[in-house]
Amino acid sequence: MKKSILFLLLATAVVACDAQTKKSAAGIQKVNLNPPKGKAIAAFAEGCFWCSEKIFESINGIDSVVAGYAGGNKAYPTYEEVSSETTGHAESVLVYYQPQKISYRELLKIFFTSHDPTTKDQQGPDVGSSYRSVIFYRNAEEKQRAELAIKELSRTGQFRKPIVTELKDLKEFWRAEEYHQDFAKKNPNQSYIRNVSNPRYEQFKKNYKSIQKK
Protein backbone atom coordinates (compact mmCIF):
# COMPACT_ATOMS: atom_id res chain seq x y z
CA MET A 1 0.00 0.00 0.00
CA LYS A 2 2.75 2.44 0.99
CA LYS A 3 4.69 1.56 -2.17
CA SER A 4 1.62 2.27 -4.29
CA ILE A 5 1.16 5.69 -2.69
CA LEU A 6 4.85 6.48 -3.14
CA PHE A 7 4.70 5.45 -6.80
CA LEU A 8 1.63 7.63 -7.34
CA LEU A 9 3.33 10.63 -5.74
CA LEU A 10 6.44 10.13 -7.85
CA ALA A 11 4.40 9.76 -11.02
CA THR A 12 2.47 12.95 -10.24
CA ALA A 13 5.71 14.82 -9.62
CA VAL A 14 7.15 13.61 -12.93
CA VAL A 15 4.02 14.74 -14.83
CA ALA A 16 4.13 18.16 -13.14
CA CYS A 17 7.83 18.54 -13.88
CA ASP A 18 7.29 17.54 -17.51
CA ALA A 19 4.47 20.09 -17.87
CA GLN A 20 6.68 22.82 -16.39
CA THR A 21 9.52 21.88 -18.74
CA LYS A 22 7.20 22.16 -21.75
CA LYS A 23 5.98 25.57 -20.60
CA SER A 24 9.54 26.77 -20.11
CA ALA A 25 10.41 25.57 -23.60
CA ALA A 26 7.45 27.57 -24.94
CA GLY A 27 8.96 30.68 -23.38
CA ILE A 28 7.00 30.93 -20.13
CA GLN A 29 9.55 31.94 -17.51
CA LYS A 30 9.52 33.55 -14.08
CA VAL A 31 11.36 36.84 -14.58
CA ASN A 32 14.10 37.96 -12.23
CA LEU A 33 12.82 41.23 -10.80
CA ASN A 34 16.29 42.52 -9.94
CA PRO A 35 17.11 44.94 -12.78
CA PRO A 36 20.60 45.24 -14.30
CA LYS A 37 22.90 47.83 -12.76
CA GLY A 38 21.91 51.36 -13.73
CA LYS A 39 18.48 50.22 -14.96
CA ALA A 40 15.03 50.06 -13.40
CA ILE A 41 11.86 48.10 -14.04
CA ALA A 42 8.16 48.84 -13.86
CA ALA A 43 5.09 46.74 -14.62
CA PHE A 44 1.68 47.72 -15.91
CA ALA A 45 -1.49 46.06 -17.18
CA GLU A 46 -3.70 48.02 -19.59
CA GLY A 47 -5.47 45.56 -21.85
CA CYS A 48 -3.90 43.44 -24.58
CA PHE A 49 -0.14 43.30 -24.09
CA TRP A 50 0.52 43.26 -27.83
CA CYS A 51 -0.35 46.95 -28.03
CA SER A 52 1.03 47.94 -24.62
CA GLU A 53 4.40 46.49 -25.58
CA LYS A 54 4.52 48.53 -28.80
CA ILE A 55 3.55 51.73 -27.00
CA PHE A 56 6.16 51.53 -24.26
CA GLU A 57 8.89 50.43 -26.66
CA SER A 58 8.34 53.63 -28.65
CA ILE A 59 9.54 55.82 -25.78
CA ASN A 60 13.05 57.18 -25.43
CA GLY A 61 14.72 55.94 -22.25
CA ILE A 62 12.96 52.58 -22.36
CA ASP A 63 15.36 49.81 -23.35
CA SER A 64 13.01 46.85 -23.72
CA VAL A 65 9.57 45.54 -22.83
CA VAL A 66 8.51 41.99 -21.94
CA ALA A 67 4.95 40.77 -22.52
CA GLY A 68 3.72 38.56 -19.71
CA TYR A 69 1.36 37.86 -16.85
CA ALA A 70 1.18 39.37 -13.35
CA GLY A 71 -1.18 39.63 -10.42
CA GLY A 72 -2.34 36.02 -10.41
CA ASN A 73 -2.08 32.94 -8.25
CA LYS A 74 -0.78 30.20 -10.56
CA ALA A 75 2.80 29.35 -11.44
CA TYR A 76 3.77 29.12 -15.12
CA PRO A 77 0.39 30.34 -16.43
CA THR A 78 -0.28 29.80 -20.11
CA TYR A 79 -2.06 32.23 -22.40
CA GLU A 80 -5.07 29.90 -22.54
CA GLU A 81 -5.23 29.68 -18.73
CA VAL A 82 -4.96 33.43 -18.28
CA SER A 83 -7.61 34.01 -20.95
CA SER A 84 -9.96 31.66 -19.10
CA GLU A 85 -10.07 34.31 -16.33
CA THR A 86 -9.42 31.66 -13.66
CA THR A 87 -5.81 32.38 -12.64
CA GLY A 88 -6.19 35.99 -11.53
CA HIS A 89 -3.47 37.19 -13.90
CA ALA A 90 -3.66 40.25 -16.12
CA GLU A 91 -1.94 40.58 -19.46
CA SER A 92 0.95 42.85 -18.47
CA VAL A 93 4.18 44.43 -19.64
CA LEU A 94 7.46 44.59 -17.77
CA VAL A 95 9.34 47.74 -18.74
CA TYR A 96 13.12 48.03 -18.50
CA TYR A 97 14.10 51.70 -18.45
CA GLN A 98 16.91 54.14 -17.73
CA PRO A 99 15.90 56.25 -14.70
CA GLN A 100 18.41 58.94 -15.67
CA LYS A 101 16.49 59.48 -18.93
CA ILE A 102 12.89 58.85 -17.94
CA SER A 103 11.22 58.96 -14.53
CA TYR A 104 8.67 56.63 -12.98
CA ARG A 105 6.31 59.59 -12.90
CA GLU A 106 6.63 59.88 -16.69
CA LEU A 107 5.91 56.16 -17.05
CA LEU A 108 2.69 56.69 -15.12
CA LYS A 109 1.79 59.47 -17.55
CA ILE A 110 2.38 57.10 -20.47
CA PHE A 111 0.25 54.47 -18.75
CA PHE A 112 -2.73 56.77 -18.28
CA THR A 113 -2.38 58.26 -21.76
CA SER A 114 -2.27 54.92 -23.55
CA HIS A 115 -5.51 53.32 -22.34
CA ASP A 116 -8.88 53.98 -20.70
CA PRO A 117 -8.48 53.46 -16.94
CA THR A 118 -12.22 53.86 -16.30
CA THR A 119 -13.45 50.60 -17.84
CA LYS A 120 -13.42 47.76 -15.33
CA ASP A 121 -12.19 44.42 -16.68
CA GLN A 122 -12.27 45.75 -20.21
CA GLN A 123 -10.14 47.57 -22.75
CA GLY A 124 -11.82 48.24 -26.05
CA PRO A 125 -13.19 45.00 -27.50
CA ASP A 126 -11.33 42.86 -24.94
CA VAL A 127 -13.44 41.92 -21.91
CA GLY A 128 -12.41 39.99 -18.80
CA SER A 129 -10.32 40.42 -15.67
CA SER A 130 -7.16 39.57 -17.63
CA TYR A 131 -7.62 42.91 -19.44
CA ARG A 132 -8.05 45.03 -16.31
CA SER A 133 -6.07 48.18 -15.56
CA VAL A 134 -3.30 47.66 -12.98
CA ILE A 135 -0.22 49.49 -11.75
CA PHE A 136 2.17 47.01 -10.17
CA TYR A 137 4.30 48.92 -7.68
CA ARG A 138 7.62 47.64 -6.30
CA ASN A 139 7.96 49.81 -3.21
CA ALA A 140 6.16 52.37 -1.05
CA GLU A 141 7.40 55.31 -3.12
CA GLU A 142 6.00 53.90 -6.37
CA LYS A 143 2.68 53.17 -4.68
CA GLN A 144 2.54 56.71 -3.34
CA ARG A 145 3.32 58.17 -6.76
CA ALA A 146 0.61 56.03 -8.37
CA GLU A 147 -1.94 57.09 -5.75
CA LEU A 148 -1.01 60.73 -6.29
CA ALA A 149 -1.33 60.39 -10.07
CA ILE A 150 -4.82 58.92 -9.73
CA LYS A 151 -5.81 61.63 -7.27
CA GLU A 152 -4.58 64.39 -9.60
CA LEU A 153 -6.30 62.92 -12.66
CA SER A 154 -9.54 62.56 -10.70
CA ARG A 155 -9.28 66.16 -9.50
CA THR A 156 -8.69 67.59 -12.97
CA GLY A 157 -11.57 65.63 -14.48
CA GLN A 158 -9.49 64.35 -17.39
CA PHE A 159 -11.65 61.24 -17.45
CA ARG A 160 -15.45 61.49 -17.35
CA LYS A 161 -15.84 58.34 -15.30
CA PRO A 162 -14.05 57.24 -12.08
CA ILE A 163 -10.64 55.62 -12.51
CA VAL A 164 -10.80 51.92 -11.64
CA THR A 165 -7.07 51.15 -11.96
CA GLU A 166 -5.87 48.67 -9.33
CA LEU A 167 -2.66 49.10 -7.35
CA LYS A 168 -0.93 45.80 -6.63
CA ASP A 169 2.42 44.79 -5.23
CA LEU A 170 4.57 43.22 -7.97
CA LYS A 171 5.37 39.85 -6.44
CA GLU A 172 5.97 37.82 -9.61
CA PHE A 173 6.08 38.40 -13.34
CA TRP A 174 5.80 35.56 -15.82
CA ARG A 175 7.21 36.04 -19.30
CA ALA A 176 4.56 35.01 -21.83
CA GLU A 177 5.06 32.48 -24.60
CA GLU A 178 7.73 33.45 -27.10
CA TYR A 179 5.27 34.13 -29.93
CA HIS A 180 3.76 36.97 -27.87
CA GLN A 181 7.05 38.87 -27.66
CA ASP A 182 7.15 41.79 -30.15
CA PHE A 183 3.94 40.40 -31.64
CA ALA A 184 2.83 43.66 -33.27
CA LYS A 185 6.24 44.17 -34.85
CA LYS A 186 6.41 40.62 -36.18
CA ASN A 187 2.78 40.45 -37.34
CA PRO A 188 1.87 43.87 -38.80
CA ASN A 189 -0.85 42.43 -41.05
CA GLN A 190 -2.61 40.39 -38.39
CA SER A 191 -6.25 41.54 -38.18
CA TYR A 192 -6.24 42.45 -34.48
CA ILE A 193 -3.04 44.45 -34.90
CA ARG A 194 -4.43 46.35 -37.89
CA ASN A 195 -7.89 46.99 -36.45
CA VAL A 196 -7.25 47.40 -32.70
CA SER A 197 -3.59 47.74 -31.74
CA ASN A 198 -2.46 50.13 -34.46
CA PRO A 199 -5.36 52.60 -34.05
CA ARG A 200 -4.76 52.61 -30.29
CA TYR A 201 -1.06 53.26 -30.86
CA GLU A 202 -1.77 56.10 -33.30
CA GLN A 203 -4.18 57.67 -30.82
CA PHE A 204 -1.51 57.45 -28.13
CA LYS A 205 0.99 59.25 -30.37
CA LYS A 206 -1.47 62.10 -30.89
CA ASN A 207 -2.07 62.50 -27.16
CA TYR A 208 1.51 61.97 -25.98
CA LYS A 209 4.18 63.97 -27.78
CA SER A 210 7.09 63.73 -25.33
CA ILE A 211 10.38 61.88 -25.74
CA GLN A 212 9.28 59.39 -28.39
CA LYS A 213 11.98 57.52 -30.28
CA LYS A 214 12.66 58.69 -33.80
Question: 101: which residues sit within 8 A by CB, 6+ positions away?
Answer: 60, 61, 211
* pLDDT at position 44: 98
What does each of the 214 residues of the chain score in pLDDT, given as a tens digit?
454 554 544 444 444 344 455 566 567 999 999 999 999 999 999 999 999 999 999 999 999 999 999 999 999 999 999 999 999 999 999 999 999 999 999 999 999 999 999 999 999 999 999 999 999 999 999 999 999 999 999 999 889 999 999 999 999 999 999 999 999 999 999 999 999 999 999 999 999 987 677 6
Q: Which residues are catalytic?
A: 48
* Of the candidates 124, 38, 126, 51, the residue with the CA atom closest to the CA atom of residue 82: 126
CB 50 within 8 A of CB 193: yes
Name the strand (E) or helix (H) holding 127: strand 126-127
Q: What is the pLDDT of residue 63?
A: 96
pLDDT at 4: 57
CB 185 within 8 A of CB 41: no
CATH number of 29-207: 3.30.1060.10
- Cβ density class 55-81: b for 16+ within 10 Å, e for less: bbbbbebbeebbbbbbbbeeebbbbeb
CB 53 within 8 A of CB 33: no
Residue 10 pLDDT = 45
Q: CB of 98 within 8 A of CB of 39? A: yes
